[in-house]
């Protein structure tokens, strides 16, 4: 089936909009509205600060912190795909979202999630080079290497999401339009389709089941080499310093893959409303805590933030000394 026929099938669908239905979220509207608004504002503030600090501080113009700025940009966009619409629903009690609006939200949500998966693997490689090959770091991670790595992370996210969305556009939606989630995602959408979704269900599990473990394996390989290199360091202080440069990334990877495995690596038939709490965590809370994880454990970022907020005072020469000079 070509792309034109896919859009024809979409146009034949009787469903023109979806109604978001998440009892666990919508029952306590005021509480969740205030909470999600606070989370979203903190997400924007924290990640924007990292972007500004990395941009303004020349000392942070290294691949490690440039990757971090890409992660912050991803987190801002990631949260912005779902939270503003959710806040609108909670404030107006209007839970409808148009068909194409739903498809667009799902598309960009998976673009950003997949891009983060690839970016975390690239960041692990950067840490591997920094710790295992410190003398060659400037050569191995020069601009002609860093830029393609970051670009491939973004391109991989768009390619992965376009593949999935293209298959989903083949489906027709002619029955119920009540979506059991607080935003549009592939799994609850497939449950509403009146088409044969067997291929899509297989792809939904198989594609993350290939790309996810592949990226995670690359991360494990990088850290296995890092651990061996750290253990060969004779001084305790040196081992601690080397490990501290990786600790923040390890925490972020653990949260990202831990929540993703719980939600996506399971049969669609057992997709439960309990998973929505996990979904809230990685879609709303994780983008907020990522900058906290990096800033609280990173002396360079904290120092740059301190300089940004409290500029160093210009030393003043005493007037008596000035007069003696003249």
Q: What pLDDT sits at residue 314?
A: 55
Q: Where are the domains of the chain?
A: 18-163+214-325
Q: In the structure, what pLDDT confidence band is assigned to residue 140 with cuts at 50, 70 and 90?
A: confident
Among 169, 157, 176, 183, residue whose Cα is nearest residue 102: 183
End-to-end CA gap in the chain? 88
Q: In the structure, what pLDDT confidence band is assigned to residue 51 with cuts at 50, 70 and 90?
A: very high
Q: What pLDDT sits at residue 108?
A: 94
Q: What pLDDT sits at residue 240?
A: 81
Residue 28 scores a pLDDT above 80? no
| Angstrom distance (rounded) from CA 132 to CA 146 | 17
Average pLDDT over every residue of 125-154: 90
Counting residues of the chain whose pLDDT is more than 90, the rounded percentage is: 23
Sequence-ordered alpha helix ranges (H) in the chain: 3-12, 23-26, 29-56, 63-92, 99-132, 137-140, 143-168, 186-192, 198-231, 236-264, 275-280, 286-297, 299-309, 319-325
Lowest-pLDDT range of 5-19, 48-62, 216-230: 5-19
| Angstrom distance (rounded) from CA 261 to CA 56 | 37
Positive or negative CA dihedral for 119, 121, 124, 125? negative
Q: In the structure, what pLDDT confidence band is assigned to residue 116 with cuts at 50, 70 and 90?
A: very high
Cα 269-275-277 angle, rounded to 5 deg:
160
DSSP states along 188-222? HHHHH-SS--HHHHHHHHHHHHHHHHHHHHHHHHH
Average pLDDT over every residue of 146-168: 90
* 3-state SS class at 18: strand
Q: What pLDDT sits at residue 2?
A: 47
Per-residue pLDDT tens over the stretch 179-192: 877 788 888 888 88
Is the distance from CB of 173 to CB of 13 less than 8 angstroms?
A: yes
Per-residue pLDDT tens over the stretch 78-103: 999 989 988 888 887 778 888 888 89
Residue 320 scores a pLDDT above 60? no
- Domain 18-163+214-325 belongs in CATH node 1.20.1070.10: yes
Phi-psi region of 256 (alpha: psi -120 to 50; beta: other; left: phi over 0): alpha
Angle between helix 29-56 and 63-92 (nearest 10): 160
Q: What pLDDT sits at residue 159?
A: 92
**Residue with more model confidence, 27 or 17:** 17
Burial class from Cβ neighbours inside 10 Å (0-12, 13-18, 19+) for residue 110 reads: buried
179 φ, ψ to 5°?
Answer: -95, 120
């Amino acid at each position: 089936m070509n792309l034109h026929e896919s859009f024809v099938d979409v146009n034949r669908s009787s469903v023109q909009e979806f109604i978001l239905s998440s009892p666990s979220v919508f029952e306590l509207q005021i509480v969740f509205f205030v909470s999600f608004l606070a989370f979203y504002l903190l997400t924007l503030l924290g990640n924007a600060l990292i972007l500004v600090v990395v941009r303004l501080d020349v000392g942070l113009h290294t691949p490690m912190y440039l990757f971090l700025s890409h992660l912050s940009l991803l987190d801002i966009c990631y949260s912005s795909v779902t939270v503003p619409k959710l806040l609108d629903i909670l404030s107006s009690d209007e839970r409808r979202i148009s068909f194409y609006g739903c498809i667009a939200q799902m598309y960009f949500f998976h673009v950003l999630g997949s891009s983060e998966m690839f970016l975390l693997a690239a960041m692990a490689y950067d840490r591997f080079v920094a710790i295992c090959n410190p003398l060659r770091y400037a050569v191995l991670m020069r601009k002609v290497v860093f830029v393609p790595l970051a670009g491939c992370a973004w391109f991989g996210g768009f390619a992965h999401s376009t593949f999935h969305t293209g298959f989903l556009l083949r489906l027709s939606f002619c029955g119920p339009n009540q979506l059991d989630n607080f935003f549009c995602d592939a799994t609850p959408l497939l449950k509403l389709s009146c088409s044969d979704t067997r291929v899509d269900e297989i792809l939904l599990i198989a594609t993350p089941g290939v790309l996810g473990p592949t990226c995670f394996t690359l991360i494990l390989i990088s850290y296995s080499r890092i651990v061996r290199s750290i253990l060969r360091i004779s001084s305790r202080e040196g081992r601690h310093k080397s490990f501290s440069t990786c600790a923040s990334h390890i925490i972020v990877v653990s949260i990202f893959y831990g929540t993703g495995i719980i939600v996506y690596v399971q049969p669609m038939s057992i997709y439960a409303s309990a998973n929505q709490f996990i979904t809230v965590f990685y879609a709303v809370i994780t983008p907020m805590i990522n900058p906290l994880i990096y800033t609280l454990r990173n002396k360079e970022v904290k120092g740059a933030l301190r300089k940004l907020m409290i500029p160093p005072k210009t030393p003043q020469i005493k007037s008596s000394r000035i007069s003696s000079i003249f």
